[in-house]
Structure 1
Amino acid sequence: MDRKDEQLLQQFFIEASQQTIADNGFSERVMRRLPNRANWFNRVWTLGCILIAIALLLMSDAITIAKTNIEVFTQSLLNGGLIEMLPTISMLIFGLAIAGAYELYVCVKENL
């Protein structure tokens, strides 16, 4: 889709969103009559699931295991693991640079 089509679509949707349909307050009455019970139940269910997840996390050794893994990872980086990762990191940075340059090229090409 070219830039002109995109502008026409955007203008169409802006105009359509500003239109109002007279319904003599029907939509407002329907919204007032919808039950709040579903909203309340969703909040209670979400809170219950979060509390159960926190309880399970605290009862297990997950925090200790995560702490140990972070310590081992940090020590291996400090003991020479970072040098082993340099080729991978440089390839990642190079790939991101190439992708960014391509996106910049496409953006400049579309604006011309």
Structure 2
Amino acid sequence: MSRASRLLGWLILAAITVATVAPIGYRPVSTMPVSVERFSAFAALAFLLSVGYPRHRWQILALTIGAAGLLEAMQLLEPTRHGRVADFLVKVVGCGFGAAASLAAGLVWPRLATRGEA
């Protein structure tokens, strides 16, 4: 489970990076509001990496929040994109939710909390 979570987490980070820094015309579009998309993407990212690295949940939370900030800042380099503090805050809340959900999952399914890095 932890290997799959790690792999999926890093793949989601790569997908988020591409979707965030690519020109706006390449941005994937869904029927959900963009704030829900941002929240969900970063919640999934933090959840998967926290499950994958259960002994490093605080570091994963810091990493995902740092990634959110860096990606918002990188949007300022693309003329068709815009980085905003409000978007960053939605992503930070998503990171916190994902990390907390992984902690809760570890309490419900203790094997998630004890499995870890070799």
Q: Same fold (TM over 0.5)?
A: no
| TM-score with structure 1 setting the length | 0.25
TM-score scaled by length of structure 2? 0.24
